[in-house]
Amino acid sequence: MNRPVYIAAYHQSEFGKLMGMTVPDIIKTSVNQVCDSIKTDPAAIDVGSVGATCTYTLNQQGLLAGLMATVPGLAGKPIESVENACASGGQAVLSVIYKLLLGQGDVGIAVGFEKMRDHEGKMDGKLIGQALGVFSHPDERPGKVYIFPHIFAEVMADYMTRNGVTERDLAHVSCVEYGNGNNNPYAQMKKIKVSLDDCANIGDRNKYIIDGLPLKTYDCSQITDGYAAIIVATEAGLTKLGVAKADCVQIAGYAQATDSLLRADRDVLKAQGAVTAMNKAYAMAGLTSADVNVAEVHDCFTVMGAIGTEVIGKASFGQGAKYWVDGKAGVDGECGINTSGGLIAKGHPVGATGVAMIGWSAWQLLGKVPPALQVKNAKAAATFNIGGPICASVCTVLKRAV
């Protein structure tokens, strides 16, 4: 059964520090706030899904679905917790869509979140390195302390060598994104101003993270607390919620694909699963990359801003960094990519990220983002969310509902 599905509502916290909020508080609050945004009662929701990654390791909490079911109106409904590393949020949205396609209801909620900092907003880098490191293959961990920064530092070095790209070229990604983040009230780095030189050169704050590899502080996404929630509905669901279709965005294409967790097994610079998922999503939407002028891609590190640009089809393999250098990814460029600030400046509350990419893109298509970040004539959007070393990919294509 293929039924059109729409984003009836989107809500997110400010990304950064949730201080004393506990995991039960976060899940409850995210459900209630997204429902409040369209003045609906959680009882109107038929199915749910919640994605997060570090709850066992950092928060000592499992069975998140049961926490969602503590919200009055949700008990006894089909709700599941999903985990696909940093693609958990995108996976939660897909999980809800699949339930709706199976006819289990007409209204679903997807929540993604992460609580990575303590109640004072501080973080333990080594502990987080370990907590995120479990999402790599054990054979690829020895000799690495900060496992993902280390893996992506190697990916960055490979990308630069193969494609003749410089550290300064990739610094354009972070420089553009910090600039966007400065205009996004939800962004963790909204107050941090950096120039291209700050991002490209070694300085007080910008240091090499792993000896002998090119990754620097400003190439990295943030350690972030945050939550994001989407209400997805069928046409009947929109009617039930009293939300006009004209105020909605259609999730017109969506797909998921997973490659081997072993990076050594494959060419991650041309990740097969990512490209397959993106192309399936375009085909399902009946659109091509030429039709989208808004995108949110998974820039966990600057090299992924470049590779993400290639995956969404805006540049050929090896040419993604150039797209940013040439200014084509800016708000006024050919396709506004990561106008939210991306994971680098908006922040990366791991489980929330995939939900937030879709939510922000929907706001772009509805003309609801701050004017300085609004893409003119926003037509259609692509999102590309990954987990692990470009391993699990969730891609969507969004367009205004008609």
Ligand X SMILES: CC(C)(COP(=O)(O)OP(=O)(O)OC[C@H]1O[C@@H](n2cnc3c(N)ncnc32)[C@H](O)[C@@H]1OP(=O)(O)O)[C@@H](O)C(=O)NCCC(=O)NCCS
CB of 184 to ligand X, least distance (A): 15
125 part of the interface to ligand X, by CB under 6 A = yes
Among residues 160, 220, 285, 401, the one that binds ligand X under rule CB under 6 A: 220
223 part of the interface to ligand X, by CB under 6 A = yes
Among residues 37, 217, 258, 272, the one that binds ligand X under rule CB under 6 A: 217
Interface of this chain with ligand X, residues 129 to 158, rule: CB under 6 A: 132, 148-149
Of the ranges 92-100, 214-222, 248-256, 357-365, which one interacts with ligand X (CB under 6 A)?
214-222
Minimum CB distance to ligand X smaller for 209 or for 248 = 209
Task: For tokens 């990740």, name the residue.
Answer: 271
192 part of the interface to ligand X, by CB under 6 A = yes
d(CA 192, CA 344): 12
Q: What is the DSSP string of 258-277?
A: E--S-GGGS-GGG-HHHHHH
The H helix count followed by the E strand count for the chain is 13, 10
Q: How far does CA 171 lie from the centroid of its chain? A: 20
Helix axes 302-311, 167-181, angle to 10 degrees: 90
CB of 260 to ligand X, least distance (A): 17
**For residue 229, what is the enclosing H or E element?**
strand 226-233
What's the token pair of residue 85?
């590393």
Strands 392-400 and 249-258: antiparallel
205 part of the interface to ligand X, by CB under 6 A = yes
346 backbone dihedrals φ, ψ, rounded to 5°: -70, -35
194 part of the interface to ligand X, by CB under 6 A = yes
In this chain, which residue has its C-beta nearest to ligand X? 220
Among residues 12, 40, 81, 222, the one that binds ligand X under rule CB under 6 A: 222
242 part of the interface to ligand X, by CB under 6 A = no
115 part of the interface to ligand X, by CB under 6 A = no
d(CA 62, CA 115): 13
CB of 266 to ligand X, least distance (A): 17
179 part of the interface to ligand X, by CB under 6 A = no
| 3-class secondary structure, 379 | coil
Contact residues: ligand X, CB under 6 A: 86, 123, 125, 132, 148-149, 192, 194, 205, 209, 217, 220-223, 300, 348
